[in-house]
Structure 1
C-alpha cells in the first residue's frame, strides 16, 4: 500500500506518518521509486502501536523510541528480560542509583526516604535491586503521601503490596519464554495494561463504597423497624 492508503488504514494523517518516518518511529517502506514506497501490514501494526503507546500509555515520543528499540532488538536472555523491559519504562532521566547520597543538598533527605523504602521492602520479604530507579520513585511517592497526610503507613503499604503481588504473579506467569516476545510482552503489557488497572481500581472503589453504603442502610432499617421509630433490640 502507498502512504495515503496507510493513512486511511490507520487513521493517522500523512503528515504525521512522514514525521514518524523522519523520527525513526516507523521503519521505511520498500522503495518503488525515488519518491514513493510500498508499506505492508507490519507498518500498520507499528503505527497502531505508536498511537497506543502515546494515547493510551501516555509516553513521550522519546520514550516510545526507546521502547521500540528494546522490543525490536532486546539483546538479552529471558533471565534479565523483566529488568531490561522495566528499565525501558523508568521515568525519563532516571538511572540506577549507585550513590544515593550524591544528590546535592537534598541528597541526605532523599537517602533517608530511600532507606525507609528499602527497610520496608526487606521486612516485607521482597527481593529487588536496591539501586533500581523505581525504588527512588516509590520513595518520592510515599513521601508525597506523607506530606498530604494520607495516613499511608507501613501497615497500609503491606496490604497494598499483598494485592499488587497477586497482580505481579499474573504478569510474570504470562511472559513468553522467547526473549524477543518476552520483552515485547512485558513492555507493552505494562504500558497498556497499567491504564486498565487504574480504571479497575476506580470501579472497584465505587463498587466497595456502594456495598458499604448498602450494608449501612440495611442495618439502619433493621434497627428502626419499630412503627414508633424506637430502636429494636
Structure 2
C-alpha cells in the first residue's frame, strides 16, 4: 500500500508517519520508484503500537524508541527484554526528598522479605518506589509503610494475571511485544480501574445517604 492508504488505515497523518520513519520508530517502506514506497500490514501494526504507547501509555518519542528497541531485540531472553522495556517506561525520579536513604532501605527490605527476584540492574522502579515512600513520609503520611505488604500481595496477583493473559493470547513471535504492551497499557487500565474502585469504596464507606430504594449504592455516573 502507498503511504496515503497507510495513513487512512491507521488514522496517523502522513507527515507524522514520515517523522516516525526519520526517528527510527517505524521501518521505511520498500522503494518501488525513486519517489514512492510501499508499506504493508507490519507497518500498520507498528504504527498502532507506537500510537498506543504514546497516546494511552503516555510515553515520549525517546521512551518509545527504547521500548521498540527492546521489543525488536533478538539477543536477549523475554525476561531480559521485559526488564529493559520496564526500565525505559519508568519515568526517572526528580529530586531527592528528605528521608530517601531510609526509604531505599525500606524498599530493599520489602524486596528481600517478599523474595522478589529483582536484579541489580533493574533499579529504576525500586528507586521510584523509594522516592514515593519518602515523599509520603515528608508530608506526614509515613504510615503507608504499614500497608506495603497488602499492596505487594495485590501486585503479585496482577503480575501473574498479566503474564498468564499474555501467554494465552500471544504467539511466540509476538510474545515480547505483547508483554510490553500489557505492561504499558495495563498501567493505564489499572489506574483507571483503581479510581473507579475508589469511588465505589468511598461511597460504601462514607456516603451513607447514597443508596437507592433497594438499599444498594446508587450507580456512579
Q: Same fold (TM over 0.5)?
A: yes
Q: In the TM superposition, what is the alpha-carbon distance from 1:217 to its structure 2 partner?
A: 4.8
Equivalent of 1:185, from 160, 178, 198?
A: 178
Describe the shift of the 1:118–1:150 C-alpha distance in structure 2 as closer, same or farther (beyond 3 A).
same
Equivalent of 2:127, from 109, 125, 136?
A: 136
Which residue in the other structure is 2:202 paired with? Answer: 209
SS in 2 for 1:58: coil
Q: Pick 1 or 2: higher relative contact order, CA cutoff 8 A, min separation 6.
A: 1
* CA RMSD, Structure 1 to Structure 2 (Å): 2.9
Give the alignment's TM-score, normalised by structure 1: 0.77
Q: Deviations over 1:164-192 (max 9, x none)?
A: 22111212333449775332122111111
Which residue in the other structure is 1:228 paired with? Answer: none
SS in 2 for 1:32: strand
Alpha-carbon distance in structure 2 between the residues aligned to 1:184 and 1:35: 32
Describe the shift of the 1:87–1:39 C-alpha distance in structure 2 as closer, same or farther (beyond 3 A).
same
Which residue in the other structure is 1:42 paired with? Answer: 42
Which residue in the other structure is 1:54 paired with? Answer: 54
CA contact (8 A) 1:50 1:64 kept: yes
Identify the range of structure 1 (16-25 vs 125-134) with the bigger mean alpha-carbon deviation: 125-134
Q: Deviations over 1:131-179 (max 9, x none)?
A: 5221111100111111222344322222222112211121233344977
Q: In the TM superposition, what is the alpha-carbon distance from 1:193 to its structure 2 partner?
A: 1.0
Gap regions ≥5 residues in structure 1: 95-102, 219-233
Instruction: Count matched residues.
Output: 207
Identify the range of structure 1 (15-24 vs 112-121) with the bigger mean alpha-carbon deviation: 112-121
CA contact (8 A) 1:175 1:182 kept: yes
Structure having the higher Rg: 1
Give runs of aligned pairs for residues 1-233 of structure 1, distance below 5 A: 1-78=1-78, 80-91=80-91, 110-130=100-120, 132-176=123-167, 180-213=173-206, 216-217=208-209
Describe the shift of the 1:138–1:91 C-alpha distance in structure 2 as closer, same or farther (beyond 3 A).
same
Alpha-carbon distance in structure 1 between the residues aligned to 2:7 and 2:82: 34
Gap regions ≥5 residues in structure 2: 211-221
